[in-house]
Chain A
Amino acid sequence: MDQEKQKTTDGSPAGRDRRRRRPRPPRSEPRIFTKYAPRKLQDGQQLTCTNDTSLNAEQMLELYRYLKLTRLVEERLVNLYRQTKVVGGVFRSLGQEATAVGSAYALQPRDFITPLIRDLGAVLVKGIRPREIFAQYMAKAWGPSGGHDLNIHFGDMAKGFIGPISHLGDMIPVMTGVLLAARMQKKPTVAIAYIGDGGMSTGAFHEGLNFAAVQRLPLIVVAEYNHYAYSTPTSLQTAVKDLAEKAAGYGIPAHIVDGNDVIACFEVTKRAAEFARRGGGAVLIEAKTYRRKGHAEHDDQRYVPSAEIEWWETHNDPVDRYERFLTESGVADKAKLEEITADVVREIEEDCAWAESSPMPDPEQAAYRVFDNSIVEPAFRPEILKS
């Protein structure tokens, strides 16, 4: 590279940068895109979804199926919880399903996601079956972790799904490593890492996104502004108004999207994925949504102002909005939507029965798989306890 032609911002000559891999595309302006951001509701108006989309009717109905699948799998989990069949807690994404479903639907099968607990929809879109989720929640032997871990804390590399751990933010650097490896392996992979307004306060989030941005890795961070982290409102979590503002600190572009409009979520993520895949680097998507249930089923939500949940339920439910869109635009009639729902219910019944029929794990399985057991013995109880 000609040193004379390269200048830094303070006018000093740039040194030979052996790390520069490819010329960087010019920065796109504006840095925060708001085309699909939420719009103010006019009096008497009912929210629907954007019609500015490339989705065809078949895809739209598939999106509807995933939305309903997510909501109804969670409802079944609540039933199982009340029957004391779920060993741990149940974490709902009620009211924010569109963000997970719409964004994950914009990826290719070879792409990766790492969801948070409220992104069951994304997990289902990536091809994980409800039976695996049910078995996990019920701590069954046939669950993907064999009872070693709970809920969506597992992964399926073949399907591009890497489950989260409870420590928020940790999956951002992990996903950065996935993409670093994909680049070394010359795979055109992009990935979504989901995070919330709470998780963005962690050090790991910053470390991971900063590194991804420096390396220009195709990481899409979907940040769900759902108003609460457990009981803490976003105003006590961060001093920015929009989470998208944080992108500037990493030198990456951001989108603000109506997180309860499944089509908008799809469209924005599709653009972000195209940008990332062609070498643009990391992107932040802020999805404005609302968590209508507590942190988990036990949470009484005493910290939520009265009427807030009701407003979102009545005026801004992602499933209602999408049903209105599908029927008003003539993509489907009520009967068609009911038919899809019936099919979802059938799948859930079948998968739940399968999971319930699984045995609990053999107790001694607790000792296995700390290390590769062909090299290191399982961690059995000491001999002294056996005699």
Chain B
Amino acid sequence: MSTALKKEHKSARPERGGVVTLVEAIRQGLWEEMERDPTVFVIGEDVGAYGGAFKVTDGLIDEFGNGRVIDTPISEGAIVGAACGAALMGMRPVAEFQFIDFISAGFDLLTNYAAKCRYRWGAGIPAVFRGPCGSGLRTGPFHSLNPESFFLNTAGLKMVEPSTAYDAKGLIKAAIRDPDPVLFFEHKKLYRLPRLREEIPADDYIVEIGKARTAREGRDLTIITFGAMVLIALDAAEELEKEGLDVEVIDLRTLAPLDKAAILASVKKTSRALVLHEASRTGGIGGEIAAMIGEEAFEWLDAPVLRLASIDTPVPYSPPLEDYYLPQTKDVVDAARKLAAF
């Protein structure tokens, strides 16, 4: 076939369930929600024919057409604003940031419009704002962000970040069905990670927003974390097990509103807490969690709450620099030992 006549690329409808990676799970969830509810639509940069920078929306335009899969100019303000306006009209937009770093260009409309609309006049904005986040992939200062703490101090935005394929599908569906705006962070390091491939149910299911998950049960110490750091925490826990330290890992899944009950229940059981996250330490979500534990579980604690997070710099590009920037498994092991010995 000559190039000119070559059939244009078309991506097939995903299976229901089966063994999938995290990115396939999100795509399944999106696809099924668009089939289930005609008010669901996708809007963002290069989400149509190209299928999105990470192919999360691959094939949607062939199935649902350009009326429901809308390619936009490079214009995060337009994407967020249009999603808000459409949501007011009863639609359920799923807006994509090509990289979550670009959420800063939509910050005003997210924090001032989407977040405050229900509070101001009772009009909910049932929109999902999703995109690839996270560092560790040598993508430098502008493609590696974990933006949760920018929004943690803004009332009115829910925030979600899955760390398993099962949760990714269940949470994207829950986010789309939620009556309020949800920021949905997808760690791009996890998208196609073979370790996360798992069998997910063929049936329709959701994972409730606002509920943490116990990724590993333990008695001696709790690591509270989310996203790609869940894997680091699990690796560290395995190593610590050899030393006789029984570590519990709490995967938050929802960053706002926090599942305080799950965090407190685990800390009251183990009496030791380590908060672990990828974003910089100062002003990070870890400080909020540590303070909450201090206020509400002080008498159960046998040691101070520790925070382990990235250093207070932009995300550097060069591998040795980024590895210095990010908490590594060894750092978690060391911190846990220190905490256990306190």
What residues make up the interface of A, taking CB atoms closer than 8 Å to B?
18-19, 21, 144-145, 148-149, 153-155, 157, 162-163, 165-167, 170-185, 203-204, 207-208, 210-211, 214-215, 369-372, 375-376, 379, 384
Contacts and interface: CB of A to CB of B under 8 A. Distances in A.
A372 B182 CA distance: 13
Given A19-B71, A149-B121, A170-B112, 15 more contacts: A18-B66, A165-B116, A167-B112, A173-B77, A173-B109, A176-B82, A177-B81, A177-B85, A184-B67, A184-B91, A207-B73, A208-B78, A211-B72, A369-B119, A376-B257
A211 B88 CA distance: 18
B112 to A, nearest CB: 5
B75 A211 contact: yes
Given A157-B123, A207-B75, A181 B66 contact: no
A174 B127 CA distance: 13
B121 A211 contact: no
* Complex A-B, nearest 5 residue pairs according to Cβ-Cβ distance, in ascending order: A173-B81, A177-B85, A177-B82, A181-B89, A207-B77
A375 B126 CA distance: 13
Contacts of A210: 73, 75, 78
Interface of B: 41, 48-49, 61, 66-68, 70-73, 75-78, 80-91, 93, 108-109, 112-113, 116, 118-124, 155-156, 158, 178-180, 210, 257, 295
Contact of A18 (B49, B84, B90, B257): B49
Contacts of B158: 371
A149 B155 contact: no
A374 to B, nearest CB: 9
Contact of A184 (B41, B87, B121, B210): B41
B77 A204 contact: yes
Contacts of B84: 173-174, 177
A182 B89 contact: yes
B78 A211 contact: yes
A306 B120 CA distance: 40
A214 B74 CA distance: 12
A163 B120 CA distance: 10
Contact of B156 (A145, A184, A371): A371
A34 B120 CA distance: 40
B43 to A, nearest CB: 8
A370 B85 contact: no
Contacts of A384: 295
A165 B112 contact: yes
B82 A180 contact: yes
A178 B89 contact: yes
Nearest to A179: B85
B104 to A, nearest CB: 12
6 contacts: A174-B84, A174-B109, A176-B82, A177-B93, A178-B85, A182-B89
Contact of A203 (B41, B77, B88, B180): B77
Given A173-B109, A370-B156, A184 B68 contact: yes
Given A204-B77, A372-B180, A175 B85 contact: yes
B252 to A, nearest CB: 16
Contacts of A148: 119-121
Contacts of A369: 118-119, 122
B81 A176 contact: yes
Given A18-B66, A184-B68, A371-B180, A176 B121 contact: no
A173 B86 CA distance: 10
Nearest to B83: A177
Contacts of A185: 89-91
A163 B116 CA distance: 13
Contact of B48 (A19, A21, A177, A178): A19
Given A370-B155, A372-B124, A181 B85 contact: yes
Contact of B121 (A144, A171, A181, A208): A144
A39 to B, nearest CB: 37
A189 to B, nearest CB: 9
Nearest to B123: A155
Contacts of A175: 85
Pick from B49, B88, B121, B155 the residue with the most CB of A within 10 Å: B121
A345 to B, nearest CB: 29
A154 B210 CA distance: 29
Nearest to B95: A177
Nearest to B91: A181
A214 to B, nearest CB: 6
Given A174-B85, A184-B68, A376-B210, A370 B90 contact: no
A174 to B, nearest CB: 4
B3 to A, nearest CB: 13
